[in-house]
């Protein structure tokens, strides 16, 4: 069939040209996210306030008094002491003394702690806020290490001996904290710890094919430092006992004994 031819009477409509699309512009890069501050703002609750060394010392004094009065067992006292020195806020300190009366009421942690006067020829207690104390870690591997003489001791002391020996003599040391925790461990070695007379000494440890010997004692002075020794000896030995200071022995007119060397 023949197609109708274009004629002036029947023109074919022209298709208008489509405008060209402009080139797409590249999307702007996304702005980096603003950092979110993790620092809290505003007032801090009393329970979230950071605990100071003085706060921990006051709680340690309360726990020691409770132990001496028979309100806490040795294990309970040790557990609370460990939690005490691991606490970071005042809220973590509060549960440690909530069931311990102090003068007929709950303890006031804001009350300053009195520091006992130093005792001659026995132990030394440092005034609060004095020079920084030692927190040494002693390691002996196929050798020896020792800590002797005067100096300030902090809250913790660690010693580890492997085929070696360590001697820790605190008879002339000055105690920074009312409680000193000593962690000891030995494998095919030996660790000897000597503490001054007049302090409370407690031990919690085990000897596995070895010995863990602690000469425990309770101080007559309620303000005396407490030394807690924890650890284990494997094919080795750990010995903890009090030692009379040289000045005290000379004052009493006694000669040296085996612990003087």
- Say if residue 128 is in the same domain as residue 75: no
Domain match, 256 and 152 both = yes
237 belongs to a structural domain: yes
Q: Of all residues in the chain, what percent carry a pLDDT higher than 90?
A: 22
- 250 in the same domain as 175: yes
Joined together, the tokens standing for residue 124 give: 């030394």
Q: Judge if 130 and 80 occupy the same domain.
A: no
Q: Whole-angstrom Cα distance, residue 68 to residue 222?
A: 8
Residue 35 falls within a domain, yes or no?
no
Tens of pLDDT, residues 15-57: 566 665 655 555 566 666 666 556 566 677 878 888 888 888 8
> What number is the average pLDDT over the span 105-118?
48
Task: Let me know whether 193 and 236 are in one domain.
Answer: yes
Q: How many domains does the chain have?
A: 2
Considering the domain architecture, whether residues 254 and 147 belong to the same structural domain is answered as yes
Residue 57 lies in a domain: yes
- Tell whether 51 is covered by a domain: yes
Q: Residue 113's Cα: distance from chain center in Å?
A: 21
Give the residue among 201, 167, 203, 162 at the shortest CA–CA distance from 185: 162
CA distance 185 to 183: 7
Lowest mean pLDDT among 92-106, 144-158, 169-183: 92-106
Question: Is the model's pLDDT at 79 over the cut of 50?
Answer: yes
> Both 130 and 173 in a single domain?
yes
Same domain, 148 and 229: yes
pLDDT greater than 90 at residue 159? yes
On whether residue 24 sits in a domain, the answer given is no
The rounded distance, in Å, linking the Cα atoms of 244 and 217 is 14
- 209 lies in the same domain as 153: yes
Q: Tell me whether residue 104 is in a domain.
A: no
106 versus 55: the higher-pLDDT residue is: 55
Q: Helix 74-86 vs helix 53-68: angle between axes, to the nearest 10 degrees?
A: 170
User: d(Cα 81, Cα 185) in Å, to the nearest integer?
Assistant: 20
Residue 198 within a domain: yes
Residue 153 belongs to some domain of the structure: yes
pLDDT at 103 over 50: no
- Structural domain for 55, as ranges: 47-96
Same domain, 146 and 254: yes
Contacts of 158 (CB under 8 A, 6+ apart): 136, 137, 138, 182, 183, 184
pLDDT confidence band for 246 (50 / 70 / 90): low
Residues 68 and 172 in one domain: no
One domain for residues 62 and 158: no
Average pLDDT, the chain: 75
CA distance 261 to 252: 18
Here the contacts of 62-68 (C-beta below 8 Å, separation 24 or greater) are 62/97, 62/100, 62/102, 62/107, 63/96, 63/97, 63/100, 64/178, 64/179, 64/222, 64/226, 65/102, 65/222, 66/97, 66/100, 68/218, 68/222
């Amino acid at each position: 069939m023949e197609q109708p031819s274009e004629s002036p009477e029947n023109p074919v409509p022209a298709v208008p040209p489509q405008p060209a699309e402009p080139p797409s512009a590249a999307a702007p890069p996304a702005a980096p996210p603003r950092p979110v501050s993790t620092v809290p703002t505003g007032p801090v609750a009393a329970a979230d306030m950071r605990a100071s060394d003085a706060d921990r010392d006051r709680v340690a004094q309360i726990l020691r008094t409770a132990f001496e009065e028979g309100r806490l067992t040795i294990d309970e006292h040790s557990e609370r002491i460990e939690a005490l020195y691991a606490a970071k806020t005042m809220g973590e300190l509060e549960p440690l003394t909530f069931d311990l009366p102090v003068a007929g009421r709950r303890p006031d942690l804001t009350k300053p702690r009195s520091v006992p006067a130093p005792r001659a020829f026995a132990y030394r207690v440092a005034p609060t806020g004095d020079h920084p104390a030692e927190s040494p870690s002693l390691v002996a591997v196929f050798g020896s290490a020792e800590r002797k003489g005067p100096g300030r001791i902090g809250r913790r002391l660690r010693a580890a001996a492997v085929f070696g020996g360590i001697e820790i003599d605190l008879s002339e040391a000055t105690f920074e904290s009312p409680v000193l925790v000593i962690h000891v461990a030995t494998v095919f070695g030996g660790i000897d710890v000597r503490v001054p007379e007049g302090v409370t000494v407690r031990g919690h440890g085990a000897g596995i094919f070895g010995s863990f010997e602690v000469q425990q004692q309770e101080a007559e002075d309620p303000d005396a430092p407490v030394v807690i020794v924890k650890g284990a000896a494997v094919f080795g030995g750990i010995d903890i006992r009090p030692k009379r200071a040289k000045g005290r022995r000379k004052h009493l007119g006694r000669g040296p004994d085996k612990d003087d060397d």
